[in-house]
Amino acid sequence: MSERYSRQELFTPIGVEGQKKINEKHVLILGAGALGSANAEALVRAGVGKVTLIDRDYVDWSNLQRQQLYTEKDATDRLPKAIAAKQRLTEINSEVEVEAIVADASVVELERLLKHVSVIIDATDNFDTRLIINDLSQKHGIPWIYGACVGSYGISYTILPGDTPCLHCLLERVPMGGMTCDTVGIISPAVGMVVAYQVAEVLKILVDDQKHIRRKLVTFDLWTNQSTSISVEKLKRPGCLSCGEHPTYPFLSYENQLKTAVLCGRDTVQIRPQEGVSRDLAQIESSLKATGGKVERNPFLLSFDTGSHRLVIFQDGRVLIHGTKDIAEAKGIYHRYLG
């Protein structure tokens, strides 16, 4: 067992002392899909003391192409991703404490989990959750690593509270109608590249190597052979409500979170995003047609039939998801098709 981390300890920036620090740290990973499962495996192999995984979904056959911890049996059994991941991770390294939580990543749930966490990894599929992570990171002074990928494209950025611009600085508002894996697909090398950026940054943070932490936002497209590294330091805003001089952490408030309601007697969940959001129905129509589902649009709304569910999308941002009364399931469908 003494040889387990020997090659990592031979790497001078980590060494024996750095390995001891890694063994004592706790990493929280939000999402156990492609990015989450790969991040978790890399960090468990690296000997992080504790890894907490939170995910609301179960293993599906479409996941197996890129989500490396899972097997055909997991998909057949529809095992929750967090549970399947924990089983595999424990087999990889029984020395690491793995906490698996099958739940939606709500503000209340995340606040409870943050005690003694050293760094947060973003492996989610939506900006609603990312902006909650961002505000919690600023509020509690915990670094987090943003990461996302779709198609052959990927992006990553390291956010250090009190130092770098936060995600709210960069976005200012939640982007709506983005591409997702379910609308444009994804190739596994894009996942691996984002994970490489994220895990490297996490290890730097865990061993306190502040000077080598990447301060730029990186993007790439592996298919078209493009790569960029963008300096964003000047985008830090003194008046930012998440990280500025007088923060109010707006995305922790109810008003700036997705609102959900089960419609009485209709087997339908309504989801309403934050105030002031409008939808480009023509753009959404173009994106959804690529999935093979039935799409119909009039000047007021768009209807999208997946076969098992039907989404009705209004210009004011509201979405009705027909065919379920389960709010968690409805939110998963919402993020799958609308980003």
On the question of pLDDT at 244 being above 90, the answer is yes
Q: Residues with Cβ < 8 Å from 159, sequence gap 6 or more?
A: 134, 137, 143, 144, 145, 146, 165, 166, 167
Question: How far apart, in Å, are the Cα atoms of 145 and each of 12, 15, 155, 294?
Answer: 23, 23, 11, 37
The answer to whether residue 181 is catalytic is yes
d(CA 120, CA 117): 7
Q: What is the pLDDT of residues 104-119, one digit of tens each?
A: 778 888 998 998 999 9
Strand 50-55 to strand 97-102: parallel, antiparallel, or no bridges (unpaired)? parallel
Q: What is the pLDDT of residues 9-33, one digit of tens each?
A: 999 999 999 999 999 999 999 999 9
Q: For tokens 């939000």, what's the residue?
A: 30
Give all domains of the chain, ordered by start, each with its CATH number: 6-252 (3.40.50.720), 258-338 (3.30.310)
Q: At 166, list the tokens.
A: 């936060």
Strand 216-221 to strand 153-159: parallel, antiparallel, or no bridges (unpaired)? antiparallel
Share of the chain above pLDDT 70, in %: 94
Find the length of the chain.
339
User: 228-237 burial by CB neighbour count: b if 16+ within 10 A, else e?
Assistant: eeeeeeebeb
Q: What is the pLDDT of residues 251-304, one digit of tens each?
A: 898 666 677 767 666 788 888 776 556 778 888 888 888 888 899 988 777 889
Set 149, 166, 181, 240: catalytic member: 181
Check residue 108 and give its pLDDT.
84
- Interior angle at CA 47, CA 41 and CA 50, nearest 5: 80
Check residue 275 and give its pLDDT.
59
Put simply, whether the predicted model's pTM sits higher than 0.75 gets the answer yes
